[in-house]
Structure 1
């Protein structure tokens, strides 16, 4: 299924050390182990029993890690059929009952969420393919979707040079770091009055 070396390792939690394979797909760039280690240290107070949304699941590195570390549920959204097949295989391999998979485009899912009254998301992972210009529209639709809890935390991973002046006023930067060409942030959301 996967080219040799296309693996991510779950760093912590109940599936710690498990290696998950993923296919070679243009633009698929799993969050590296050091960045994930930092991110999940940041998220430690928020993850237990959280409802999580991974809008650009790709390899599944972020969603599987969240599920492994005590998230109540993780919805992983991915548009690529090869990636979804790999995610499904990995989900079955580790028997991850707290993960739901959806093969759709992230923006379409957010449009649909406006019409539904599902459980709200407490933690959101936004790590779209770089240099495709989708992030600002995704953030806008995410905030408008009505699917975020009042005090949700949002993880954002993007290219270092990207200007983030499009972020909603009610998102407050809590943490941020830069590594090479990658910038990553954790935002706290406050409910609009």
Structure 2
């Protein structure tokens, strides 16, 4: 696993030990960023199920100014910290060991807003549509926000989600990328 492109391109990243998380493959990550970017001019990203941190690190490498990474597993948080160290830009990352629901409440209380949000939850615990709605209702999404969802085939995310515009959906084997934009 590596950072595909940008300021940190080519640097190797660690995967979270064990079977509790599954890292996004470099192929899927590259395809994802070709759809949503591929490069950014600042902005903030949020990853509620950060795992190894690879998606947020890739986003910062490609121009996102600051990334907030959330995960509730100790092993994931340790791996994220190790991977952020590889960037030599730790000040551009905030790592929080929290349950996603609690983290969202805290971020809303702080008045944070995000231009890019990654949803890559454990496949058995996908509540993406409800979580997208919660982010919108709490004012956590900037007007230009993009939502990137990485799921398995069984998730079957709908095209029509109130408050969001469907952008695109692509299949990569067992992985499905679904991308939305905050609606007007």
Q: TM-score, normalised by structure 2?
A: 0.90
The yes-or-no answer on 1:84 pairing with 2:57 is no
Query: Of the candidates 145, 148, 166, which is equivalent to residue 155 of structure 1?
Result: 148
Q: Could you tell me whether the CA contact under 8 Å between 2:47 and 2:119 is conserved in 1?
A: yes
From the superposition, tell whether residues 163 and 176 of structure 1 become closer, same or farther in structure 2 (CA, over 3 Å).
closer
Query: Of the candidates 128, 132, 141, which is equivalent to residue 134 of structure 2?
Result: 141
Superposed, 1:17-36 pairs within 5 Å as 17-36=10-29
State how far apart, in whole Å, the 1-side matches of 2:162 and 2:135 are.
14
Question: RMSD of the TM alignment (CA)?
Answer: 1.9
Greater Cα shift, 13-22 or 92-101? 92-101
Q: TM-score, normalised by structure 1?
A: 0.86
Query: Of the candidates 140, 159, 164, which is equivalent to residue 171 of structure 1?
Result: 164
State how far apart, in whole Å, the 2-side matches of 1:46 and 1:187 are.
18
1:67 aligns to what?
A: 60
Superposed, 1:90-129 pairs within 5 Å as 90-96=83-89, 97-118=91-112, 120-129=113-122
Deviation at 1:170, TM superposition (A): 2.0
Richer in helix (by share) = 2
Q: Could you tell me whether the CA contact under 8 Å between 2:126 and 2:155 is conserved in 1?
A: no
State how far apart, in whole Å, the 2-side matches of 1:171 and 1:129 are.
23
The runs of 5 or more residues in structure 2 that have no matched partner are: none
The total of aligned residue pairs comes to: 183
Q: Could you tell me whether the CA contact under 8 Å between 1:155 and 1:184 is conserved in 2?
A: yes
State how far apart, in whole Å, the 2-side matches of 1:174 and 1:162 are.
17
